[in-house]
Amino acid sequence: MKCFECGGEVLKTLGSVKMTRSDGSLIIFKGIPMTQCRQCGEQYISGKWSEKIGELMRQKETLVFEEMLSVPVINLYQQTIGKGDSDLTKRMAD
């Protein structure tokens, strides 16, 4: 199998998948069997495993977390427009 994005070589691996919950918080699922492109990092997960992830996302109240991570967050809007920089959208388009 070749990568659909870039045509690179894909390898079987155990990877992690980031999902966003309805409240905007993130869940990371680790140890997902997948194939991943060596070149661009595109992940291909089999139907069985994406179904499993979907299932777990639906029963979020009963999920058991192995670990909690704190993640750095940068709010570009607050740091730029929030400080009176109204040219941001113009410059982002460059």
∠88-91-25 over CA atoms, to 5°?
50
**CB of 8: closest distance to Zn ion in angstroms?**
4
CB closer to Zn ion out of 7 and 54:
7
CA atoms of 17 and 30, how far apart (whole Å)? 7
Contact letters (x/-) for Zn ion, 5-44, by CB under 5 A?
xx-x----------------------------x-xx-x--
CB closer to Zn ion out of 6 and 76:
6
- Alpha helix locations (H) across 2-68? 47-58
